[in-house]
Amino acid sequence: MSASVDTSPCPAPSWLPGGHAQTLYGALVVRHHRISFVRERVATPDGDFLDFDWAGPGLFADRAADGTQAWPDPQLRASAARRWIADEDRRRLEQAPGTPALIIFHGLEGSSRSHYAQSIAQHFRARGWVTVIAHFRGCSGFPNRMARAYFSGDSADIGFMLDTVRARVPQARWHAVGISLGGNAMLKHLGEQAGEAAWLQAAAAVSVPLDLVACGQALSTTWSGRHLYCRHFLRTMRPKVLEKARRFPGTIDALRLAQVRTLREFDDIYTAPMHGYRNALDYWTRASSKPKLKGIAVPTLVLNARNDPFVPEASLPGTHDCSPSVLLHQPAEGGHAGFVTGPFPGNLNWLPNRLAQFFEQHAVKAGPAAISS
């Protein structure tokens, strides 16, 4: 048996043609609901930390657990979180047996402020779900403690994040969504640790660079990749690593790093050697999730627009590349994590509704909480 295929379109508006326009407009222009979170910091086994932004029933970012006004914490002003989690908040999260829950893994240089994270989290929170956005190291508005950071194949950190949220709300019906880089790492983990992830109800991966070699080449060699998207990502990635170079002298070639212009150069100089790979090509090859798709046992939606400027259409998986647990959805339109629909000025409702539809199809039929889409 092989994977299933969904052939339904994403109805992109006629006034927003092309993958670049759909990507950029979705990320930078379209209006969407904005929500705030309660933040929890969790220590990792290697001495670092990860930040989790929670929302859900009984959890209010602007009020403490006792109902009193909670003023925004100045430490969190650069994030979508307003206050730190308290013991009473944790107890409320634990008292959610059977509640549907969703963990979101963001993309490269993303966070709980990202447009896709906000629109997905708001959609499910409004329907009574517990939602949590798990930040990769250094992406929550705080520099992480180590010379290492995060990378596309970090399935070990994905496993730790999943175990953490499951421990916080053990009786919930957990689902997972990974966007772009986060989707690649999540799919890699699901393919490598099929038995360990069996407690998940379902998962979805959106705009994923499943073949990192093809995607890395596209971003590093095309005009739009080099001068538009790479420049955008390096604007925040480079200063973060240069700050690490000052804290960890001798571990990072700061002079070469200051001169990088593409993601391939950045990965050659920093990401690959720092995380155990020979070079960018070795990293991209070994960290790609596409070869792991046959090992996935959790019901999983893999959603990629065929006009995604980050992901060449030829690199997308076919049914023969995947296990029967995978549903491939590859609409012609949508861009990269854009999926803008509706009359001008558009909205971001299509993606969370598509995710809700998939999760509904794999909902536990018996239980105290019903899934609403």
In a domain, 319, yes or no: yes
Instruction: State pTM to two decimals.
Output: 0.95
Query: Residue 64 — very low, low, confident or very high, per pLDDT cuts 50/70/90?
Result: confident
Dist. CA 278–CA 266, nearest whole Å: 13
In a domain, 26, yes or no: yes
CB atoms within 10 A of CB 365: 5
* CATH number of the CATH domain containing 85: 3.40.50.1820
Dist. CA 16–CA 334, nearest whole Å: 10
Could you tell me the residue range of the domain that residue 78 belongs to? Answer: 4-210+289-361
- How do beta strands 130-134 and 49-55 pair? antiparallel
Same domain, 255 and 305: no
Same domain, 171 and 41: yes
* Sole residue written with tokens 């393919």: 191
pLDDT recorded at residue 370: 39
CA neighbor of 331 nearest in space, from 339, 342, 322, 323: 339
Cα separations (Å) of 330 from 9, 25, 64, 207? 8, 20, 43, 10
Same domain, 233 and 295: no
pLDDT over threshold 70, residue 367:
no
CA neighbor of 339 nearest in space, from 220, 182, 179: 179
Is residue 132 within 8 A of residue 53, CB to CB? The reply is yes
Dist. CA 118–CA 213, nearest whole Å: 29
pLDDT recorded at residue 96: 62
Is residue 373 within 8 A of residue 356, CB to CB? The reply is yes
- pLDDT tens for each residue of 36-59: 999 999 999 999 999 999 999 989
End-to-end CA distance of the chain: 29
Region 80-109: mean pLDDT is 91
pLDDT recorded at residue 194: 86
Query: Residue 220 — very low, low, confident or very high, per pLDDT cuts 50/70/90?
Result: very high
Same domain, 48 and 151: yes
- pLDDT tens for each residue of 292-312: 999 999 999 999 999 999 999
State the chain's mean pLDDT as an integer.
94
Same domain, 225 and 344: no
Three-state SS at 236: helix
Same domain, 223 and 355: no
Same domain, 278 and 261: yes
pLDDT recorded at residue 372: 40
Query: Residue 366 — very low, low, confident or very high, per pLDDT cuts 50/70/90?
Result: very low
Region 170-177: mean pLDDT is 96
CB atoms within 10 A of CB 68: 7
Same domain, 96 and 112: yes
Is residue 63 within 8 A of residue 69, CB to CB? The reply is yes
Could you tell me the two tokens for 168? 């916080």
Length of the chain: 373
DSSP-derived secondary structure for 192-217? H-TTTTTT-SEEEEES--SSHHHHHH
* Sole residue written with tokens 């929302």: 55
Region 23-48: mean pLDDT is 95
Could you tell me the two tokens for 64? 């403490």
pLDDT over threshold 70, residue 224:
yes
pLDDT over threshold 60, residue 29:
yes
Same domain, 204 and 308: yes
Q: What percent of the chain has pLDDT over 70?
A: 97
- pLDDT tens for each residue of 109-155: 999 999 999 999 999 999 999 999 999 999 999 999 999 999 999 99
Same domain, 14 and 42: yes
In a domain, 12, yes or no: yes
The contacts of residue 194 (CB under 8 Å, 6+ apart) are 295, 296, 297, 298
User: Looking at 262, 287, 312, which one is the last position of a domain?
Assistant: 287
pLDDT recorded at residue 364: 64
pLDDT over threshold 90, residue 92:
no
Nearest-10 Cα torsion for 82, 53, 267, 22? -80
Number of domains in the chain: 2
Q: What is the C-alpha R_g of the chain?
A: 20
pLDDT over threshold 50, residue 71:
yes
User: Looking at 236, 252, 287, which one is the last position of a domain?
Assistant: 287
User: Looking at 251, 268, 287, which one is the last position of a domain?
Assistant: 287
In a domain, 367, yes or no: no
Region 311-327: mean pLDDT is 97
pLDDT over threshold 70, residue 369:
no
Query: Residue 2 — very low, low, confident or very high, per pLDDT cuts 50/70/90?
Result: confident
Is residue 99 within 8 A of residue 165, CB to CB? The reply is no
Same domain, 171 and 28: yes
Same domain, 154 and 277: no
pLDDT recorded at residue 69: 87
pLDDT recorded at residue 347: 97
Region 241-265: mean pLDDT is 96
CA neighbor of 188 nearest in space, from 76, 246, 105, 276: 105
Phi, psi (rounded to 5 degrees) for 341: -135, 170
Dist. CA 51–CA 178, nearest whole Å: 16
In a domain, 71, yes or no: yes
